[in-house]
């Protein structure tokens, strides 16, 4: 019936123009149907660049301003070595005047005096001065390596923090999707009268909590990405992806080997050792400066009648100033440097032991969660889901089992992150290349 009425309406519509057209004229042609506009082209999908941890490290090394400032201090230390190796400049004195005759027969006129004095650099003082500046350069270089080591450790922490937040966001979205499915199923059962009304209220509450957790996880991802970009520098774009995993294998040597490596190549310890050597050579230099200083002196006097040339030696005799103050100061600074070195060794060993114990704790937690707790929670969730599906359990039991599984999964994500932080702390202390 519907098709016949549509066909009749179409026939009438086509016959009306022919009847209304004047005689002798052909009916006007029907207008061509308007062409539908072409659908807009889909926006081009721009692939975000993917960065690994090694790539981010290279970007930070090449573009971080603090590393450039630390390198400038190293260059200043090299300049101090150059200044310590420089020889003393000569002193040149030139005097000009006139002579007046006070005895008959003597001719007056202009007179000139030229004096050149060159201080002889004590070779023992020179060696001590150059050595002290060289150890100062070693301390600057170790300080620069220590700053780079700390920067790389903080970069690694930010890298794994982003991975952790991404894993939490992925889990929160899965929870949200599951909460939506549960809510829809509960709504059907409530509408059909199979379940009471309070189950729908409970499902709505769980859905709101899942939405809130997903939004918070999304914000934490953005915050972690911004912190990583601020640490790497402007070379890292705003939109990027990371190539890495929280569950990567970690390999940590035994504690005795780590202790030997820390005492052998930790930058802070190497800096303190260089400071001790510099203080020792500085004390030696101050004691050597008690010795007399020698300078060669050449003088020439000229007037109209005479030309007088003299060659001599100038000796600075340390009678009144025995440099007791500078020597005592250098000795005190040496004692301070040695005390700081001993304190640094003790602090590094204690920090290493603490980091290693934390690594063992986190490793045991990850192993327990992966091999036992999470599997049991997942099995309990499947049982509760099947029981709820067949009407043997209520929605509260199912939601409780799901909550326990989410807690175990989130705890595993946090434990993996803490394990990576412990490894990063150990690597920072050992300063592994």
Residues paired with residue 51 on neighbouring β-strands, in sequence order: 242
pLDDT at 14: 36
Closest CA to 377 of 347, 349, 400: 400
The answer to whether the Cα torsion of 60, 64, 66, 67 is positive or negative is positive
Neighbours of 247 (CB within 10 A): 14
Closest CA to 228 of 249, 251, 244, 211: 244
- Rounded to an integer, what distance in angstroms lies between the CA atom of residue 353 and that of residue 430? 12
- Between vectors from CA 82 to CA 77 and to CA 84, what angle results, nearest 5°? 95
pLDDT at 67: 87
Tokens of 215: 């939004």
CA 177 to centroid of chain Cα atoms: 36
pLDDT at 393: 64
Instruction: State the first-to-last Cα distance of the chain, in angstroms, to the nearest integer.
Output: 86
Torsion of CA 100, 102, 106, 112, to 10 degrees: -30
Write out the E strands in 337-432: none
Report all structural domains of the chain as residue ranges with CATH numbers, in order of start. Answer: 56-101+108-430 (1.20.1600.10)
pTM for the model? 0.75
CA 347 to centroid of chain Cα atoms: 23
Buried-exposed string 73-103: b where 16+ CB fall within 10 A, e elsewhere: ebeebeebbeebeeeeeeeeeeeeeeeeeee
pLDDT at 433: 65
- Rounded to an integer, what distance in angstroms lies between the CA atom of residue 289 and that of residue 295? 15
Query: What backbone torsions phi and psi does residue 212 show, to the nearest 5 degrees?
Result: -65, -40
- Rounded to an integer, what distance in angstroms lies between the CA atom of residue 393 and that of residue 19? 76
Question: 47: number of CA atoms within 13 Å, CB side?
Answer: 4
Whether residue 214 contacts residue 241, with contact meaning beta carbons closer than 8 Å, is answered with no
Distances, alpha carbon 76 to alpha carbons 141, 268, 293, 305, 372, in Å: 11, 19, 29, 54, 57
Three-class SS of residue 243? Answer: strand
Whether residue 70 contacts residue 148, with contact meaning beta carbons closer than 8 Å, is answered with yes
The answer to whether the Cα torsion of 179, 185, 187, 193 is positive or negative is negative
- Rounded to an integer, what distance in angstroms lies between the CA atom of residue 202 and that of residue 398? 11
What is the chain's Cα-based Rg?
43
295: left (phi over 0), alpha (psi -120 to 50) or beta: beta
Whether residue 370 contacts residue 412, with contact meaning beta carbons closer than 8 Å, is answered with yes
Which parts of the chain have pLDDT scores under 70? Answer: 1-47, 105-106, 388-396, 398, 433
Tens digits of per-residue pLDDT, 398-430?
Answer: 677 777 888 888 888 899 999 999 999 999 998
Which residues are CB-neighbours of 360 under 8 A, at least 6 positions away? none
Tens digits of per-residue pLDDT, 89-101?
Answer: 999 999 988 877 7
- Between vectors from CA 314 to CA 311 and to CA 318, what angle results, nearest 5°? 170
Beta strands 241-243; 50-52: pairing state: parallel
């Amino acid at each position: 019936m519907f098709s016949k009425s549509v066909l009749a309406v179409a026939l009438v519509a086509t016959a009306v123009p022919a009847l209304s057209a004047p005689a002798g004229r052909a009916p006007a042609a029907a207008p061509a149907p308007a062409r539908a506009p072409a659908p807009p082209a889909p926006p081009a999908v721009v692939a975000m660049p993917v960065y690994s941890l090694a790539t981010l490290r290279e970007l930070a090394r090449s573009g971080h301003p603090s590393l450039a400032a630390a390198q400038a201090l190293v260059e200043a230390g090299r300049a101090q070595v150059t200044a310590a190796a420089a020889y003393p400049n000569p002193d040149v004195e030139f005097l000009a005047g006139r002579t007046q005759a006070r005895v008959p027969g003597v001719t007056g006129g202009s007179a000139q005096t030229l004096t050149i004095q060159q201080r002889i650099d004590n070779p023992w003082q020179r060696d001590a001065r150059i050595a002290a500046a060289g150890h100062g350069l070693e301390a600057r270089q170790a300080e620069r390596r220590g700053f780079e080591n700390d920067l790389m450790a903080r970069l690694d922490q930010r890298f794994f923090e982003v991975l952790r937040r991404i894993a939490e966001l992925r889990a929160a979205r899965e929870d949200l999707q599951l909460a939506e499915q549960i809510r829809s199923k509960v709504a059907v059962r409530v509408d059909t009268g199979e379940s009471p009304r309070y189950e729908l209220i409970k499902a709505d509450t769980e859905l709101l909590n899942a939405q809130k957790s997903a939004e918070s996880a999304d914000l934490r991802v953005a915050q972690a990405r911004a912190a990583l970009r601020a640490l790497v520098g402007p070379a890292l774009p705003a939109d990027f992806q990371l190539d890495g995993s929280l569950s990567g294998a970690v390999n940590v040597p035994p504690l005795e080997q780590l202790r030997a490596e820390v005492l052998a190549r930790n930058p802070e310890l190497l800096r303190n050792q260089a400071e001790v050597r510099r203080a020792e050579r500085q004390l030696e230099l101050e004691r050597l400066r008690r010795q007399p200083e020698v300078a060669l002196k050449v003088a020439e006097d000229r007037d109209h009648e005479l030309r007088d040339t003299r060659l001599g030696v100038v000796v600075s005799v340390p009678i009144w100033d025995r440099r007791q103050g500078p020597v005592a100061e250098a000795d005190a600074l040496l004692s301070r440097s040695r005390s700081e070195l001993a304190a640094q060794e003790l602090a590094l060993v204690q920090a290493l032991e603490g980091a290693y114990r934390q690594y063992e704790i986190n490793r045991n937690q990850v192993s327990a969660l992966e091999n036992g707790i999470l599997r049991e929670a997942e099995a309990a969730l499947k049982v509760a889901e099947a029981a709820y599906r067949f009407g043997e359990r209520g929605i509260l039991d199912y939601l409780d089992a799901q909550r326990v599984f989410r807690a175990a999964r989130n705890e595993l994500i946090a434990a993996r992150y803490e394990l990576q932080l412990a490894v990063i702390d150990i690597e920072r202390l050992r300063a592994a290349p």
